[in-house]
Amino acid sequence: MTLNTGHFEFKRSLALPPERLWEVLTDPRHRENWGAPEEGMVLTVETADLSEGGQDRHRCGPAEAPDFVVDTRWYRLEAPHRAVFTETVIVGDEAVATSLVTYALGAAGRGTALEVGVAVSSFVGPEAASEFHAGWEGGLANLDAYLAKLDATAGAA
pLDDT digits (tens, 9 = 90+) for 47-87: 999 999 999 999 999 999 999 999 999 999 999 999 999 99
Q: Which of 17-31, 41-55, 83-97, 139-153 has the lowest mean pLDDT?
A: 139-153
Fold observed for domain 5-156: Alpha-D-Glucose-1,6-Bisphosphate; Chain A, domain 4 (3.30.530)
Cis, bond preceding 18 (omega within 30 deg of 0): no
- Exposed/middle/buried for 83, CB within 10 Å: 0-12, 13-18, 19+? buried
pLDDT digits (tens, 9 = 90+) for 89-116: 999 999 999 999 999 999 999 999 999 9
Kindly report the pTM of this predicted structure: 0.93
Statement: residue 152 has pLDDT above 90: no
- Contact assessment for residue 65 and residue 44, using Cβ atoms and an 8 Å cutoff: no
- Please report, rounded to a whole number, the percentage of residues in the chain having pLDDT higher than 90: 86
Query: How far, in Å, CA of 85 to CA of 116, rounded?
Result: 11
DSSP-derived 3-state class of residue 59: strand
Query: How far, in Å, CA of 137 to CA of 39, rounded?
Result: 12
Please, what is the angle between helix 127-156 and helix 18-26, to 10°? 120
